[in-house]
Structures are given as C-alpha cells and as structure tokens.
Chains A and B, each alone.
Chain A
C-alpha cells in the first residue's frame, strides 16, 4: 500500500480524530468472516423467495398460469402483477418499470412472477412449473435506431436529450485552427459487487413489514416500496443489512417489493438471495456509449471549440439515465477551458438490459473520449500531451461548459503536474508471470512493448440540477456516551469510521455508539453515491455534534459559573482553560443532551434549454499515469504501473483514502482491458464471474499515489471532498492511452479486446 503524507502542516489532531488512519470498526469481522452480510440473514419459520424472469428481451405476455406451481408441495405463494397491492410501477426518475411485468416484457431478465416456498430447491421447482405464454416480438437492440423506431414503452424511446450550447457557435469558423475528430465507444460495465442482492422481509404484528436489505439509500427505497405495497410509509420499516459492495448497483429497487409482497401474503418471514447469474440480470449496469468528438484549437494548443454527440444506451427502463446523460454532457470536454461548445447528449430506451448508476456516473465514458481527443490533438499540434493539458487546465474563476463559474477549488494543473513528475518505479521484471499473458506463459521478453500515457478527468460531487439534497443526523450525549443516529448506508466506503472521527474531533471522546441504520426515527441521509456522504452525512454529524457540544458547555458554564468561552471538551471531560473547572462528561450529561439536524449543501439550478446553468455544487479532479506492457501479436496486456494524483480537499482518513484510490483504479483498469457485459440480441452472454472478468492480482498493478492535493473546499465539512469516484474516471482513459502509445493503434473502444490489437497488427501486415 502506498504511503500517504499530508501535504499541509496543521495542528495536532486526536489519535481518533480527523486526518488519522483510524481502523474501520468492521475491518476485522470482514477479514475473519464474522461480519454478517445481507445474505447471512436468518429468521425462525423463514421461507425462501425466488423470481421468474423473462427469457425474452421483447414479448407480449399472453397468459400466466401459476396453478402447477401452486400445486408443488412446500410452495406458500406464487404472485404475479395482479397481486401487486399498490402502485404497479417504480423508478428513480420515472415510474416506468413494473414491479412484475403485466402484458409486456422489455428486457431479458425482467421479473414476471415471484414464489415463496419452504426450501430453495422447492422455489426452483415452482418457478419451473409456472406456465407463461409469450408472444415474442422483435427486440430493439440498436440504440442508434431507438429515436426513430416504434416506441417500446408508453413513455417513448427518448429518455433524455440535453443539447448543450456554450459560447460563440461560430468560434471555429475561421482559418488557421487545428482540428481533430474521432469516434469512440464504451462497452457495458457491471459493478461486480461481491455480495449479490439479498434481503429478508418480516411481517409485523401491526400489519406492516420490516425489511432488512443491502442498499444505498434506505429512505427512497422505503417510499418506493410503500407506494408499491399501497401502504403507509410508517408501516414499511427498512433496516440496513450488511452490504457487500454497491458502486451504484443498489440505487434501484431489485427484490425489495417482491420480498415484502411474499412476506405479507404468507404471513411468514421471507428471504431471497440472487445467484451471481441472476444478479447480472437483477441490477442496472454502466451505460454503453457511442461518442463522436471534434476539437478545434489554436496552433499554440489553446482550445477554441469542442463539438460532441453522445449516445448512451439506457436499456429498457429509465433508472437514473437522465442524470447520467447530464453528467456525460456537462463534463464532456474534461477539466479544460473550452470557450465554445456544442454537445448533444442523448440517452435512449432499448430492449437491452437497463442501465443506471455506476461509480463515475457518465463522466467515465466521456473521459475516455475527451482524453483520446487531447492525445490526438497533441499529435496533430506536435505538442507534448502533458503541456497541452496544462495549457488548457481549468482553474477557479473559469467557466464550465454549462456557463457555471468555478468558485470552489479545482487543482487541475496541480494533479497533472504532480502525477506527470512523479518518478516511476516500474522496472522490466524477469518474472515471466508478470508479462502480458501472465500465467498463460505466452510471452518472452522480446515479444513485449511498453507504453505510457496520462489522463485527467473530473466530475461533480453530490446531486445536481436543483435537487433538494439533504442528510439528517442525531447526536445524543447521555452519561458521557455519544450515540449517533444517521441513515447513511455504509456500503464499504468507510463512513462508519468517519462518524467516530468526527465525533472524536468535536466532542473529544474516543468511543461512539452507532445506532442501527434504519428508516424509523430518523430522516433520510440521501444516497451513498455521487461522492456525497462524507460531505452530506459528515456535515450532518458534525453539526449535530457541535450543537450538543455547545449545549453541554452552556450547561457547565451555568452550573460552575464560568464563561462559555473558557470551556473545552477534552478526553471525556469538560475543562476550563484556567484549570478551575474539570467535570466528567458523564456527570455533565446525566441529564441527556441531544441534537437533531438536517444538513443541506448550497442550492443548485436546473440546466436550461441550452444546457446552461449553475447546476453543480462542487467538483473533484484526478489524474492517472499508466504504464502498460503489450504483446502485440497476441493482443495481451499487462498494466505495469498506475500513478495518480487526486484533488481531495482534505484527507480525513489516509488509509481509507488510499483504499478508495486503489479500488477505483482497479475498476478503471477492468473497464480498460476486460470488463464488459456482452449483450447479443438483448441477451447477456456472460452472466458469471467465469466469463465477466474482473482484474486479478496479476492484472492490477500497484497504485502509486503521487499526491493527494489538499486545498480545502469552501463550504465542505473539514474542507474535504468526496473521493470515491474520480479514481475510476481517469484510470480507464490513462490505460487505453498507454495501450495506444505502445501499439500505435487507434483503439477507439473500451474494453480493448485482445483481437483489437492482435488482428489489427495482422491486418496491417506488420512483421515483428
């Protein structure tokens, strides 16, 4: 693991406070296997649930006969669309997806019926026994045909178009500019979390239901589930179960309503766990993208205008596609000063698997394209690609493509410079296993060529376009013990650690009790996504702790007749600076103190007709430098080294920061060289970890951290920015750039497949 040094000197912090590598409370249990994930849930008299899914990407349902399934011994419920008690549809942005398909199925894998039975094998037999007659129709699988094809949904095939127009449209209509043009493609990536969808629903005596579930956003799940159950939200109580990774794939509902329907129908607890195969069909993926770009620059490299056409395949249902295309469009040109732009961003509906949120959220796709364009432009200008990037680097005071003036921090030039200047530790290893092809023993040293490239990317932090984004937290101090209640979903990012660090920093205590994370008794914390929880729920916890701190100080000031300003909280005591007062916090809070707060970030505005507006709160930028080895004849690749610099505002927990940077880069490497959900005629062909490949230890190089740039972000708690997403934005672009550098090939598509390299060489007749 890389060592991280703070780049600023600051006052002494508490060993359990902000800026320290405090160990996660769940670290040891997760390593030893003692941690209970949602798939480990059990309950007395528990039934097992299962889902029947459409085998067809597009069909009308003529009939469903559940009779033979009901007749299977051990089956307690077989439910279909007609059994959905409340609203028949759900969705994050549009209510366009059926809880259970009624008359039409729009993707292969769409849920059609659900079963509860005494054993998973009984569930499987019952699912096999359900008779569904489909009238198969021709699927719409080509997103470029979607806008003109017959609508496959009453809401139409265009999910959202943003035609962003910025600056002088005729800026490039003159002689003497250098122009480069390219078309790029990104395949469908899966979040590939290790813990497949699972949960347990328990019917309650009051007629309600308790749902234990792995999710990213409890309250919005609760509201959607309650609507679909036709139930008062207070009767639907969600508790966070152990989450085995999320990366965006748990923002949408999956088995939530199904579990509650089965539990309420049978009056028994029901558990459901997706298999890996089912999981690939049970959650949204990263949008595949086709992107055309044209960059115009002065001969000295100054960017004049960027034109782009972005087409994202949203699949069968909208999910968060509208927000994803907004990000893709707003950040289409990368973190550069672009005075004039025309970006037509479109996301459409097809009969392919639904796509939605995934780490990087639209900025990943365009980063791969804009960075390829910058390298191409550097070649056309005969300019160093790093100098070109530095020349155009955005800085505070500049305008984004949306016209928004950058008012916070954004150290673009700093991340580029520190990353580019960081010495490489990459050597040419004599170990054959570390060559391209790895364990396959295919390459000798003289078959390998090396390449190197740098890429930069940025995106927004938190929700945008006027969304009323908030997080609620409660701090209670009783007998000296601090209890924090917050519905922030811990999905692995480390907020559980951060709560303790914030509490320690503000209240001067080392221990904190974390109340169960649930919908009852506390407001929404918002989603664990968009790199927002450190800021939003961190801000809520900080504010709640500060209010309690003020209250306890005020109380001691009165009882001991000292000025408030004279009192501090240190090591579980309230003490006066003069030394005359020293009260045990337990004594001071025998009568408990508590504060409830709702934290909001600065408001944003919607985008207007031209895609202009102050739509975003804050931004973060990162750079990656990749060094790759390629075996051009076989098209096999090994990423040798990744170096990164990231704009973090302030490091809250160095070890966790490194974890985010390493993990995000691994997902970026995966997208660059292997990770793709292969969809053929609407059907997923590789719905397993045998064939959907993620990097192994032989594929993922060490991540060298050149710099964590600490420029405190105004308005952010402790000045810290969210850090989860940037690592998987610029890493993919850097790796594919290095592959281009090594091979001299265009490689306009990720993931780069071995044949894209090997057969390109063969076709070009290159003799090695």
Chain B
C-alpha cells in the first residue's frame, strides 16, 4: 500500500508496479472487492494528493481535479459554472458516498450508469492522463471505450477533466425506481452553448458507453431562435424527444427494459428542452 502525497509519488508508484490498484474514494472498488470480483495486489491511494483536489478556471475552461468528490461538485459555487455536473453529483448515492466518491473514479469505472458521464460527453470533456512517461489528453468518447472499459494504459492515472464554461442553461435528469440513492435506469444531460448555437445531449444507461444524440442536436439547433429567443414549438419539442429516443441503444436488464429506457429518454429530452427554452403552445410531453 502506497499512500501518495504528491502526484509524482503516485506516478512513481504506478511506474514501479503498473498492475497496482488505484484507490481514490473506494466507493466502486470496495464493492468489487467485497464481491470477490477484484483481486488486489499493491494499492496506490491517491486521496491525499493535493494536485488532484479542487478545480480551477482559466477563461472559459474549467479544469476539474480527478479527486473532486460528488459533494464538492454539488457545491453551488461549482454548480454555477457547470450546472449539470452539480445536478448529476447530487443524484449520486447517499451523503456518505458523495463525501468520498470522486469524478475520477466515475471515469475510471466507466460504468454505463456512471452519473457524470452523460454530462461530460455532452460537454465534450477532455480527460487528462498522466504517467511517469508523460501526459496525454483524450476526449471523453475516446476515453470510455466500452462497458466498464477505458483507455487508461498501464501505469497511467486520471489527473483531471476539462470542460467548457458554457453560459447557457443545463439540465441533468435521472430515472430510477427509487427517489434517492439509486442506480440510473436512464439519464440525460442537456447543455446549451448560446455562442456556439448548439444544444448538446448526453445519454446514460442506454448504451455500453455514454452517447450523444447527434441527430436531435442538429435538428433542434436549427430550430432554436438564437437571436429572438422565441421558444421552440410543441412540434419541435416532440420531434426532438423522438430523435433523442431514437438515438438510444438500450438493453433489457434487471433494472429496466429497453422499451422503458427508450421511452423515458424521450420524455426527459422534451422536459429538459422545455426547462431550457420554454415552449410555445401546448406541451406535448
């Protein structure tokens, strides 16, 4: 067990044993260990590495340390810059889990149900990786490569994730059969970039990896009245919901059926769009 006190310590320990297990909040890892799914050799604990904690803003780029906990992200000061990340962080687990689980851990686990991932994919996040050999940056969709699979190389550590500060409305929603402390059955992040004139949608738990609803984004981007601010019509909202539902590639599992997942991402998409822009005429959710 190495308790790293600096980022260099952590990278050196991982260079010495690239098979070592990295321990941050432990909220995913210990579940696997207790279930016997994860045999542990050496452990590198990174929760005391100061370079991984906190966030910084440079211009309109927000750099979020991999050790930021969900509780840190649920803080209103942070939420003002990345509202959907703050909203998503608040939906994770219980207060105890949020106090210790980290955004880096959410990325490393790369679960289809990871609550931060649909937000990060919608924000076109870039993941910063570091090893004793150097540093590289990967867009989120190149980092998460499959169900619980990521592009981390041996000896490599997630250091931070960069997202833009967008100055537009953001919405995160999550469906689960319990009103708190529940694994997502389907989730959706909608972010608006008023300067880039895009509406971006990330979907969670409806595919092996977090998805973008590209067709829906293009369609609604073209229908929004970016200059005049006139809300989308009920027909636009409906069409948008349909295209988002079509983008999902869900499966049946013990948490929900594919049909239900597809249905609810459509509903969430309509509601998120209306929350962001309002709507002209009758809502047809």
A residues lining the B interface (CB < 8 Å): 124, 275, 277, 433, 436-442, 444, 446-447, 633-636, 638, 673-674, 678, 680, 685-686, 690-691, 693, 695-699, 753-755, 758-759, 762, 767-768
Contacts and interface: CB of A to CB of B under 8 A. Distances in A.
B174 interface: yes
A440 B271 CA distance: 13
Given A633-B267, A693-B182, A440 B173 contact: yes
B245 to A, nearest CB: 11
A477 to B, nearest CB: 48
Interface residues of B, number: 38
B103 to A, nearest CB: 18
Interface in B149-196: 171-185, 187
A754 B175 contact: yes
Interface in B37-76: none
A691 B268 contact: no
B255 interface: yes
Nearest to A697: B180
Interface stretch (B4-12, B17-25, B120-128, B256-264): B256-264
A698 B179 contact: yes
A768 B274 CA distance: 14
A762 B259 CA distance: 11
Contact of B271 (A433, A444, A696, A699): A444
A767 B284 contact: yes
A442 B275 CA distance: 11
Given A447-B285, A696-B181, A636 B260 contact: no
Contacts of A436: 179
A39 to B, nearest CB: 14
B68 to A, nearest CB: 19
Interface in B90-138: 90-91
A634 B179 contact: no
A696 B91 CA distance: 13
Contacts of A673: 177
A699 B172 contact: no
Interface stretch (B28-36, B140-148, B220-228): B28-36
B178 A758 contact: no
Contacts of A680: 254
B39 to A, nearest CB: 10
A440 B185 CA distance: 11
A686, A696, A767, most chain B CB atoms within 10 A = A696
Contact of B175 (A440, A686, A753, A762): A440
Contacts of A437: 173, 175, 179
Contacts of B172: 441
Interface string B246-260: 000000001111011
A274 to B, nearest CB: 12
Nearest to B88: A441
A690 B35 CA distance: 12
B90 A754 contact: no
B179 A762 contact: no
B234 to A, nearest CB: 11
Nearest to A670: B178
B195 to A, nearest CB: 26
Given A438-B179, A441-B91, A674-B178, A755 B260 contact: yes
Given A440-B179, A698-B180, A759 B259 contact: yes
Given A693-B178, A699-B178, 13 more contacts: A436-B179, A437-B175, A440-B91, A440-B176, A440-B179, A440-B184, A442-B174, A634-B267, A634-B268, A690-B31, A693-B177, A699-B180, A754-B264
A442 B271 contact: yes
A753 B179 contact: no
A628 to B, nearest CB: 12
Contacts of A636: 175, 177, 179
Contacts of B90: 439
A762 B257 CA distance: 14
Contacts of A633: 267, 285
Contacts of B179: 433, 436-440, 636, 638, 696, 698-699
Given A634-B267, A762-B263, A768-B285, A755 B255 contact: no
A755 B253 CA distance: 13
A438 B173 CA distance: 10
A331 to B, nearest CB: 29
Contact of A634 (B31, B264, B275): B264
19 contacts: A124-B36, A437-B175, A438-B178, A439-B174, A439-B179, A439-B181, A440-B179, A440-B184, A441-B172, A633-B267, A634-B267, A696-B178, A696-B180, A697-B180, A699-B180, A758-B260, A767-B284, A768-B284, A768-B285
